[in-house]
Amino acid sequence: EAGVTQFPSHSVIEKGQTVTLRCDPISGHDNLYWYRRVMGKEIKFLLHFVKESKQDESGMPNNRFLAERTGGTYSTLKVQPAELEDSGVYFCASSQGITSKQYFGPGTRLTVT
């Protein structure tokens, strides 16, 4: 069974540009989560989808971040326009049930210069 996959693995963009990150959860997992880890700090929750619906988006930093999960399969996280403080590693995780174990993808390392 394939695990959670994320694309791209690395992205370097300039301040003001737009970047879109993609996450493909484990097949059959209705719950999909986005997290972010800024250098040296803890992994922070961004938002949670149940199928295509946003269950909890309390961790989204501001309206420059837009997450979608059309069709309830893969998800995208768009940052527009990117700022320097957006740099970090963005992780996606998925789980079968809302209280089930979460399995993480390898992350996308975003660098904004």
Neighbours of 83 (CB within 10 A): 13
Instruction: Considering only the stretches 12-20, 34-42, 62-70, 78-86, report the one whose residues sit in contact with another protein under the rule CB under 8 A.
Output: 34-42
Structure-token pair, residue 109: 């390392």
Among 30, 59, 68, 78, binds another protein (CB under 8 A): 59
Site membership for another protein, residue 65 (CB under 8 A): no
Q: Is the alpha carbon torsion for 36, 104, 29, 26 positive or negative? A: positive
- Count Cβ atoms below 10 Å from residue 80 Cβ, excluding itself: 13
Q: Does 74 bind another protein (CB under 8 A)?
A: no
Where does this chain bind another protein (CB under 8 A)? 4, 6, 33, 35, 41-45, 48, 55-56, 58-59, 91, 98-99, 101-107
